[in-house]
Amino acid sequence: MLNNIGLPGLLLIAVVVLVLFGRGKISSLMGEVGKGITSFKKGINEGEEDIKNASDDTAELSDDAAAVTEIKTDKDKV
């Protein structure tokens, strides 16, 4: 259905939206959309950092567990 719109159809839709809502309303709406996209990207980056930190913590814990196991086996030998 949307395959037949083309450039003239999109321009007509843009003009109709501009006439209905006005330049100021569309400008403020696009500003809000930009803020939403920015906060979404920030959330994605924070989530990736949390995942990386969690995997680093897990690696440290497994290293600590290996050290504890090594200490226990050393005590068993004595």
pTM: 0.51
Residue type, 71: I
d(CA 48, CA 31): 26
Give the CA distances from residue 6 to residues 13, 18, 19, 55, in Å, rounded to whole numbers and listed in that order: 11, 19, 20, 48
pLDDT of residue 36: 96
Could you read off the pLDDT of 20-76 as tens digits, one per residue? Answer: 988 888 889 899 999 999 999 999 999 998 888 887 777 666 655 555 555 555 555
Listed as own residue / partner, the contacts of 57-61 with beta carbons closer than 8 Å and 24 or more positions apart are: none
d(CA 42, CA 49): 11
